[in-house]
Amino acid sequence: MSNIFNSPLFYIFLTFGLYALFTYIYKKVKSPFCNPLLLTTICIILYLVITQFSVEQYTESLSMVGYFLSPLTVCLAIPVFNRIQIVKHYWLPIVVGTIVGASVSIGSVLLFGHLLGLDENIIMSLIPKSVTTPIALEVSEKLGGIKGITVSAVILTGILGALLGPLILKLLHIKRSPAVGMSLGGTSHAVGTSKAVEMSARAGAISSVAIVTSGIATVIIALFL
């Protein structure tokens, strides 16, 4: 039996099946905790822990999926292209928010990471945590980070943004949609954007653009690290 339940085919079935199921649930519930990537990952980790099957076997069975990292990044041109009117109209707030966001994010990870006495490779893994996953993995790999930690931190930061972002905005009395969109998209990428869409259509559009611009800015800053 064990060679069926740890075969590549079974792992592919499990991953696609769980992701489809959790996407269905997410569409019904719309809570950031029901994020399909988060729930699928937790289920597979639990499965591997309980069965004691090796992680390497699992990741090797799905290695094909990893080759899509680069095409995914290329496709990020689409959300920006589709919102070109908004980009033209709000170019200055977008540029300001992007530069401030990427520098504060990287700066505070470096500063507080060293203050807390974390290891270098953990700090490097956490540097791109505000950025969309495909770009975060590129940056983490370049800096010598651990990609598993990077993906987890990216998911966590996304959920923090969707949960606490609206609260912070309320405390700061910030309602203008470009500020809402830039802060949610610039810190919490796609998870933050789904919250921004709920707040207003324009905030959602700006948030989608912020995902891409903050990714580019983070790559550029990482060049000098």
Quick one: 165 or 204, whose CB is closer to other proteins? Answer: 165
Shortest gap between Cβ of 28 and other proteins (angstroms)? 17
Which residues touch 108 (CB under 8 Å, ≥6 apart)? none
The correct pick among 55, 198, 201, 225 for binding other proteins (CB under 8 A) is: 55
The token duo for 17 is 């099946």
Regarding 193 and contact with other proteins (CB under 8 A), the answer is: no
- Interface stretch with other proteins, choices 2-10, 167-175, 195-203 (CB under 8 A): 167-175
Asked if residue 218 lies in contact with residue 135, where contact means CB atoms within 8 angstroms, the answer is yes
The correct pick among 21, 25, 146, 197 for binding other proteins (CB under 8 A) is: 146
- Interface stretch with other proteins, choices 2-10, 154-162, 194-202 (CB under 8 A): 154-162
Instruction: Tell me the CB-side half-sphere exposure of residue 170, using CA atoms within 13 A.
Output: 6
Tell me the residue type at 23: T
Residue 120 to residue 211: CA distance in whole angstroms:
26
Regarding 225 and contact with other proteins (CB under 8 A), the answer is: no
Q: Positive or negative CA dihedral for 153, 40, 185, 128?
A: positive
Regarding 152 and contact with other proteins (CB under 8 A), the answer is: yes
Which residues touch 205 (CB under 8 Å, ≥6 apart)? 83, 86, 181
The correct pick among 124, 205, 215, 221 for binding other proteins (CB under 8 A) is: 215
Strand, coil or helix: 163: helix
Shortest gap between Cβ of 2 and other proteins (angstroms)? 19
Shortest gap between Cβ of 72 and other proteins (angstroms)? 5
Which residues touch 130 (CB under 8 Å, ≥6 apart)? 101, 102, 105, 154, 157, 186, 187, 188, 189, 214, 218
- Interface stretch with other proteins, choices 1-9, 158-166, 194-202 (CB under 8 A): 158-166
The correct pick among 21, 25, 34, 156 for binding other proteins (CB under 8 A) is: 156
Residue 149 to residue 137: CA distance in whole angstroms:
10
Q: Which of residues 95-134 bind other proteins (CB under 8 A)?
A: 96-97, 100-101, 104-105, 108-109, 112-113, 116-119, 122, 126, 129-130, 132-134
Q: Which of residues 23-52 bind other proteins (CB under 8 A)?
A: 23, 35-37, 40-41, 44-45, 48-49
